[in-house]
Each structure stands twice: as structure tokens, then as C-alpha cells.
Amino acid sequence: MVCTSGLVVAPLLVVFVGSQVLVTISIVQGIREQLQKRAPPFATYTWIEDDVPEYFPVSGGPTLVLTSIEESVRYGIQEPEAYYEWAYNAPVGEGGNVRLGPNHRLFVTSFAHQLHCLLTFRTLLNDEGIPDGRALHHSEHCLSFLRQHTLCAADTTLEPDDTFSRNFTSQRVIADRKCVRTESYYETTRDMWMEWVAFKHRSTNTSL
């Protein structure tokens, strides 16, 4: 009598082992792809000309939090406190400037630039008359800058069908959505600003 169980098990074992090998290869390739996407350590940059990181190094990396998109009683146009409410969004220090690398090279984050443009528009809306000269060119720059970054982000989040017609006085909340935790950005810029202030203080004392 011929035993056929071994003849059946052997091919199944080969298939099982082969599938596990393919899964392992796929996992390894996925890990390699993710590692390749990671930005190189700061120590690898020379900080000369274009040899700099693409993104500002937020401590802990981007974190998503649930945020309500809604009308606010703050951030008005003509209220006495409006300017300070809008200015409060600016990062601590030099209005969004950050200094990176061993020589403390100066950069501006796109996030801070966009906030600056929003503050500019609020100021223009509160001023009398039509802007001209430098103010006009600045506003045109900011308008184009925000347009391009809106197109760059191309946010396709779905909103309610009455978004353009609802009464936002009584229906203030549009939706809850996951947004980047901006506090991490503010905390990192604050820490870097304090490091820059300490560096300037040490440099001043050394030169005396």
C-alpha cells in the first residue's frame, strides 16, 4: 500500500514556505521604501546654498488632532483687539524666522509666511482707502502666495452642501476634522528661538 499523505503535504509545504518568503520580501521592501522617504539626519547637511533640509524639524514629527472648523467670535477686522488676536498666531521670536545649522542660518517656514499674509490682509481690510505702492505690491504677493499654496495642498475634504449658503451666525460649526497639531510647531520654534537668544548672548559676552 502506497502512502499518499506525504505526496500531498510536500507541495502544500512548498506553497506555504514560498508565500511566507514573498510576504517577508514585501515587508522588507516596504520598510526600505519608508526609510528612503525619511529625511537625512541634520548632521549630513553642509547648510551651504541648497544643501539644506526641505522641512522644518518639528519636535516629535507631525501629529494629527481633532479640530472643529467653525466661525469664531475672535479674529475680526475692526475690533480693538483684532490685530493682537491675529498677531497671536505668529510664532515667537522674529515673526516666523528660524535659525538652523551650526552657523544659525536664517530661514522662514511656509506656515509662518502664510500667517503673515493673513495678518497683512486683516490690516488692509481695516485701513481706509485702497492700498498703493509698497502696500499694494505686498498684498498682491500675499494673494498669489496663498493661492499657490491652496492649490499645492489641494485639500479635498468634503464639506456640507450648504457651506456657501448657511447662516453661520446660528450654524457656526462646519465640521470636525483631523488637523496637524500646530502647538508642536510653536513649541519647537520657541525652543529654537531661546537657543538663538542664548547663542547671541554668549557671542556678545565672548567678544567683550
54-58 LR contacts (CB < 8 Å, sep 24+): 56/98, 56/100, 56/107, 56/109, 56/111, 56/185, 56/188, 57/100, 57/188, 58/184, 58/185, 58/188
pLDDT, position 35: 44
**All residues at 6 or more sequence positions from 195 whose CB lies less than 8 Å from its CB, including other chains:** none
Q: What is this structure's pTM?
A: 0.74
Q: What is the pLDDT of residues 142-195, one digit of tens each?
A: 999 999 999 999 988 888 888 778 777 777 787 888 888 999 999 999 998 998
**Which position has the grid cell 497683512?**
120
pLDDT, position 205: 74
Q: What is the mean pLDDT of the chain?
A: 82
- Which residue ranges make up each domain of the chain? 63-127+178-203
The dihedrals phi and psi of 128, each to the nearest 5 degrees, come to -85, 150
The list of the chain residues with pLDDT below 70 reads: 1-40, 207-208
pLDDT, position 158: 85
